[in-house]
Amino acid sequence: MWQKTLRRLAVLAAAIAMVFGSVPASAAPAPFSGWNVRVSPVDGNDQVLHLTFDSPLLQRRITNTVYLPDSYRDTGTKLPVMYVLHGTVLSPLDNCALNAVTSQETLVRMIGCGGGYLQNNLYDIPSQLSRMSFVAVAPDTDPAGSVCQTCMWVDGRSDLLPNIQPLTARDLPADSFLHQELYPLVESIFNVRGDRGGRGVMGFSMGGWAAALQGMIHPDAYSYIGYVSGGYDIKEPELQTTIIEPVGYFRDQGYTTSLTDPVWWAQFNPRDIATNIKGTDIAFLLSSGDACLNPLELLNAPECQGDFSPVRSPSGTLLEQELSLNRTIAVDDLTAKGIPFRTVQTPGTHGANNARIFASEVVPGANAKFATPTATPQTFSYRTAIPRFSIWDYQVRVARGTDGFLDLTGARTDGRALTITGAGNVDIATPAAFTPGQTYTIHATHQAVTTTREATADPGGRLHFALDAGTGEFGTTRAAAPGTTTLTIT
């Protein structure tokens, strides 16, 4: 026991030393030197740490919780890491002065003051540290209040309709925060992997929806997706009219309504972009409760008792009914699209089965996935409305007059071929798979007409070129009409 305690203290000291060393925090490695990074144990537990820093992107200080398993060492073999995304927090309720009121109903308290912290605790991650072969990192877990309230963990945008707190939540660059700040910082402080095969993402409720989006928007960044009572088809009429629109996720993040911004509602709907993960060797877990609709469960199932009983959580019962239906929609849709997954349903209202799912499904499933090599596809398909993106080492920027999707199909990860469907002027940097300084020929075929352009690989081994996606013309054009162009490189 003493040896284990001493080792844990050494782990904590090593983590803190990696941030501070023997010099002021301002001398921490770039770009983190000005972030005022702090690592501290939570409630005296040296395997559960608060990682706090000043986020340049979010423009505020943010608290994150890091869970170090028993197997963690500060040197040697790096451990995988699972990022755990929390769900909805309602801005008007994210006020600790209201706790006496919100505590009368379990779900209402869960989406109230410090909801990100409360929802994260539902997994009971500390009880699994002896079984986990991965580090877990939960962003935005300050008990006093949440930064991401309705952020969907995507990048919001400014809109003509102002966000007025606390009536509405802030629009946030949440996706950029994860990939440009949190992940690099965690990988610089802790002895964890930074490769796709050693990174997973999971979440609960809005966080489950967000975990699916993360995996589908960034299939080259993850090997595991854990979806716990999340939304899969947010345009399903019942879910859209009773949850998505009233809560205002899209409105708060600058994407207005499904009528005025249909492209963006599709972009952030897992059902519409699920094929992005087909053939990418991602493990996908789908889980939900059954809302305790079986009368026998009211007497026998622990997940239907106490605070999570339908009596104490009536809104959580109704919500889980809808999300259970959404899980069924996901099962049918993924099956039809030939995308592998694992699914499980247990008794429980919203949030009741999180600890059970984490212990019985996430831990063994993620342990197994992270322990085996993750294959990189030779070819892939990718669909996005995001105008600037990186996927499988392609770097793409699209300029167009109206919102729309760009589809890449038959795209080779060695950069030698791809087909583009959409409208707009597209700037492409290929994967770094070519010989620096060597000149190659790019063939663009549109409606059986082929044009060519030569390009020389840059010092990093990339080819750069621009074309009109709709016509296949090289260079910058008016790019008004959509079309399909097939590119090959010799």
C-alpha 428/C-alpha 474 separation (Å) is 11
CA distances from 50 to 16, 147, 291, 312 (A): 11, 15, 33, 31
Taking only the tens place, the pLDDT of each residue in 392-451 is 999 999 999 899 999 999 999 999 999 999 999 999 999 999 999 999 999 999 999 999
- Measured from the Cβ of residue 64, the count of other Cβ atoms closer than 10 Å reads 23
- Under the banding of pLDDT at 50, 70 and 90, the label for residue 23 is very low
Residue 159 has pLDDT above 80, yes or no: no
> Does 188 score more than 90 pLDDT?
yes
| Tally of CB atoms within 10 A around 78 | 17
* Residue in 224, 149, 137 with CA at minimum distance from that of residue 181: 137
Average pLDDT over residues 178-199: 98
CATH for 2-371 (3.40.50.300, 3.30.70.80, 3.40.50.1820, 2.60.120.200): 3.40.50.1820
pLDDT per residue over 221-263, tens digit each?
999 999 999 999 999 999 999 999 999 999 999 999 999 999 9
- Report the DSSP pairing between strands 199-204 and 224-228: parallel
Residue 293 has pLDDT above 90, yes or no: yes
Mean pLDDT of 105-127: 97
Q: What is the pLDDT of residue 86?
A: 98
Kindly state the average pLDDT of the residues 276-292.
Answer: 98
pLDDT of residue 475: 87
Region of 61 (left: φ > 0; alpha: ψ -120 to 50; beta: rest) is: beta
Average pLDDT over residues 62-71: 99
The answer to whether residues 202 and 82 touch, using CB atoms and an 8 Å cutoff, is: yes
Is the distance from CB of 353 to CB of 292 less than 8 angstroms? Answer: no
7-16, 134-143, 284-293, 309-318: least confidently modelled range:
7-16
Lowest mean pLDDT among 16-20, 174-178, 209-213, 314-318: 16-20
Contacts of 185 (CB under 8 A, 6+ apart): 32, 35, 37, 51, 53
Residue 163 pLDDT: 62
Q: State yes or no: pLDDT of 202 exceeds 60.
A: yes
Short-list 159, 234, 190, 215, CA closest to 72:
190
Q: Does position 12 have pLDDT exceeding 70, yes or no? A: no
What SS3 string covers the chain?
A: CHHHHHHHHHHHHHHHHHHHCCCCHHHCCCCCCCCCCEEEEECCEEEEEEEEEEECCCCEEEEEEEECCCCCCCCCCCECEEEEECCCCCHHHCCHHHHHHHCCCHHHHHCCCCHHHHHHHCCCHHHHCCCCCCEEEECCCCCCCCCCCCCCCCECCCCCCCCCCCCCCCCCEHHHHHHHHHHHHHHHHCCECCCHHHEEEEEECHHHHHHHHHHHHCCCCCCEEEEECCCCCCCCHHHHHHHHHHHCHHHHCCCCCCCCCHHHHHHCCHHHHHHHHCCCCCEEEEEEECCCCCHHHHHHCHHHCHHHCCCCCHHHHHHHHHHHHHHHHHHHHHHHHCCCCEEEEECCCCCCCHHHHHHHHHHHHHHHHHHCCCCCCCEEEEEECCCEEEECCEEEEEECCCCCCEEEEEEECCCCEEEEEECCEEEEECCCCCCCCCEEEEEEEECCEEEEEEEECCCCCCCEEEEECCCCCECCCCCCCCEEEEEEEC
**Long-range contacts formed by 98-104: CB under 8 A, 24+ apart:** none
What b/e string do you get for 216-229 counting C-beta neighbours within 10 Å, with b at 16 or more? Answer: bbbbbbbbbbbbbb
Task: Please report the pLDDT score of residue 8 as a whole number.
Answer: 53
- Please tell me the predicted confidence (pLDDT) of residue 369: 99
Q: Provide the residue ranges of all domains of the chain, joining segments of one domain with +.
A: 2-371, 379-489
Q: What is the CA radius of gyration of the chain?
A: 23
Q: Which residues pair with 383 in a beta bridge?
A: 407
Q: What is the pLDDT of residue 433?
A: 98
Phi, psi of 391 (to 5 degrees): -150, 125
Q: Above pLDDT 90, what percent of the chain?
A: 87
pLDDT band at 13 (very low <50, low <70, confident <90, very high): low
Average pLDDT, the chain: 93
- Is a pLDDT exceeding 90 seen at residue 319? yes
The mean pLDDT of 307-332, rounded to a whole number, is 97
Task: Answer yes or no: is pLDDT of 41 > 90.
Answer: yes
pLDDT at 479: 64
Dihedral angle at the C-alpha atoms of 337, 339, 345, 350, nearest 10 degrees?
-80
In this prediction, residue 341 carries a pLDDT of 99
- Contact between 420 and 472 under an 8 Å Cβ cutoff? The reply is no
Average pLDDT over residues 310-333: 98
Q: What is the pLDDT of residue 186?
A: 98
pLDDT per residue as tens digits for the range 369-378: 999 999 999 9
* β-pair partners for 320: none
Greater confidence, 399 or 26? Answer: 399
Residue 166 confidence (pLDDT) = 62
Give CA separation, 432 vs 103, 104, 413, 417, 461, in Å.
Answer: 54, 57, 10, 14, 4
Predicted local confidence at residue 27, as pLDDT: 45
d(C-alpha 326, C-alpha 405), whole Å: 24
pLDDT at 170 over 90: no
